[in-house]
């Protein structure tokens, strides 16, 4: 084999690897988007079907299950929040730290999520949130409003 052929082969391999990385990133973002949209739609349907729910009727979800929807209109953010902080949960939703209270209870509620494109863009625009912007947390029984 001559050197020219080897250089071309290495170049083609590098291009193929680059395309593979690009396509897998696009696939991940598309999967996350559709998973998020499906989860939000199902949770909204669940909320709509439960007219008359009371706080006593609703059990705290188990790890991995939907807890609420977190909305920040000023940055056009609407994301599902599931119980737990495992990698599998944070890969396609925000996660609730189960050692803290759930929304609506007295105390601190901790919701975590990634803010980069490697693991999703759930909190990638938090730096744009301003003082007095509103944050909404939709639970099966109520919508809680918080301002910064």
Mean local confidence (pLDDT), 5-27:
92
Q: Which of 101, 113, 91, 114 is nearest to 144 (CA)?
A: 101
Per the prediction, the chain carries an average pLDDT of: 87
> Is residue 33 scored above 80 in pLDDT?
yes
Examine the pLDDT at 132 and tell me if it is beyond 70. Answer: yes
DSSP 128: G
Alpha carbon of residue 26 to chain centroid: 16
Does pLDDT of 57 surpass 70? no
- List pLDDT tens digits, range 73-129: 999 999 999 999 999 898 889 999 999 999 988 999 999 998 765 555 788 888 899
SS3 94: strand
CB of 65 closer than 8 Å to CB of 81: no
Residue 148 CA, distance from chain mean position? 21
Tokens of 9: 């082969």
Residues in the chain: 148
């Amino acid at each position: 084999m001559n050197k020219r052929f080897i250089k071309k082969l290495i170049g083609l391999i590098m291009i193929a690897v680059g395309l593979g990385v690009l396509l897998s990133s696009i696939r991940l973002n598309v999967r996350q988007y559709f998973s998020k949209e499906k989860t939000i739609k199902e949770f909204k349907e669940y909320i709509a079907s439960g007219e008359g729910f009371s706080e006593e009727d609703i059990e705290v979800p188990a790890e991995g299950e939907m807890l609420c929807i977190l909305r920040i209109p000023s940055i056009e953010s609407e994301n599902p929040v599931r119980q737990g902080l495992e990698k599998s949960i944070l890969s396609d939703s925000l996660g609730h730290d189960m050692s803290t209270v759930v929304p609506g209870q007295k105390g601190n509620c901790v919701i975590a999520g990634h803010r980069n494109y490697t693991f999703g863009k759930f909190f990638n625009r938090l730096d744009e949130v301003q003082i007095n912007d509103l944050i909404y947390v939709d639970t099966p029984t109520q919508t809680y409003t918080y301002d910064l």
